[in-house]
Amino acid sequence: MPQQRFMSNRKMLLGEDSNALVFLFAVNMIIFVLISFLKTVYYLTDTPLELFERQIVDWFRMPGSFLAVMYKPWTFLIHFFSQYHFWQLVSSMLWLWSFGYIFQDLSGNKHVIPVYIYAGAAGAIAFLTANALLPSMVNVAQPIMGAGASVVGIAVATTVLAPKYKLFPLVYGGIPLWVLTLIFLVLDFSTALGTPSILMSHIIAALVGFGYMKLLQNGTNLGDRMVRFYQWGNGLFEPAELREKKSNTIKNSSTENELNAILDKMNIVGYDNLTEKEKAFLKSASQE
């Protein structure tokens, strides 16, 4: 079955409404711009940087202990969407794009955000737990923010999905994706060596990415409820006319939606694991 032919017909466009990767980029960029703008305001008023971090940045970064997080529970989720330093933002977004684009192209747009959130949340729990189990670190544990753990989860999930995916095909026949992932993990883990709790956070995030994809390949979709909740919440704020228009569009494009769903399944579990009905549908679509 010519799998590549189908994949090439459904590339995600940068501004497409359903592009989950662009959504993650947008959230990270908006929070970074907001923090940077407020930092500029503080700078122009000659306010000490320490006061700015205490009054503004602390609302976005997660404290280093469970007790402190109880007083700022929102930071448990928002911290892995928040970037404070420019080069941290550039590094995280470049790696997110490198792995996220492949992941989204092969698995569809319904798994990028769940893996990002699950890996970030599991990494946060691991970070807090490591600090709690190492009492000597509690007093010196610094708050954390950034997409590091989430990007590690995306990278590992992508590699589990397609370890033999070839990058730069013109260079000696291409470089396997697992090589890029290995380089990324070595760089990431070596950077985190100085802070054991952060290292543990990223290791757990990697295991979450691995486990999510393995379960998905075995038929268990951990991201389904999260996607449905997002779609439900998103629909609450849409005008009635737009909801009706989208409903009609979905009805009119049911064949295309079915094709994309089968392609997503094929990319995850392989062509041989499709049902006979799904194989027949793909064969019919390839002849149109």
Token match 């980029």: residue? 25
Contact 244, 252 (CB under 8 A): no
3-state secondary structure of 10: coil
Residues β-bridged to residue 62 = 144
- For the chain, percent helix, then strand, then coil, each to nearest 5? 75, 0, 25
What confidence tens digit (pLDDT) does each residue in 226-273 have? Answer: 877 766 666 665 565 655 555 555 444 556 666 666 676 666 666 666
CB 38 within 8 A of CB 47: no
**How far apart, in whole angstroms, are the C-alpha atoms of residue 141 and residue 8?**
47
Residues 6+ apart with CB under 8 A from 242: none
Query: Which segments of the chain belong to CATH 1.20.1540.10?
Result: 20-231
CA gap 271, 288 in Å, rounded: 19
Location of structure tokens 């691991």:
126
Please, which residues bridge with residue 175 across strands?
A: 167
- What's the number of CA atoms in the CB half-sphere (13 Å) around residue 89? 18
Type and span of the H or E element at 167 = strand 166-167
Report which residue type is found at 93: M
- pLDDT tens readout for residues 180-219: 999 999 999 998 888 888 999 999 999 999 999 999 888 8
- Round to the nearest angstrom and report the end-to-end CA distance of the chain: 15
Kindly report, residue by residue over 27-71, the tens digit of the pLDDT. Answer: 999 999 999 999 999 888 888 888 888 899 999 999 988 999 999
DSSP letter assigned to residue 166:
E
Per-residue pLDDT of 98-146, as tens digits, reads 999 999 988 888 899 999 999 999 999 999 999 888 765 544 568 899 9
Collapsing DSSP to helix, strand or coil, 276 comes out as helix
Report the CATH superfamily, name and number, of domain 20-231.
Rhomboid-like (1.20.1540.10)
* Dihedral, CA of residue 211, residue 226, residue 88 and residue 23, to nearest 10: 130
Tell me what pLDDT residue 219 has: 81
- Comparing CA positions, the residue from 162, 273, 235, 276 lying closest to residue 284 is 276
Place of tokens 């990278």: 155
Task: Extract the tokens encoding 182.
Answer: 């290995």
Question: What is the torsional sign of CA 27, 32, 33, 37?
Answer: positive
Mean pLDDT, rounded, for 270-285: 66
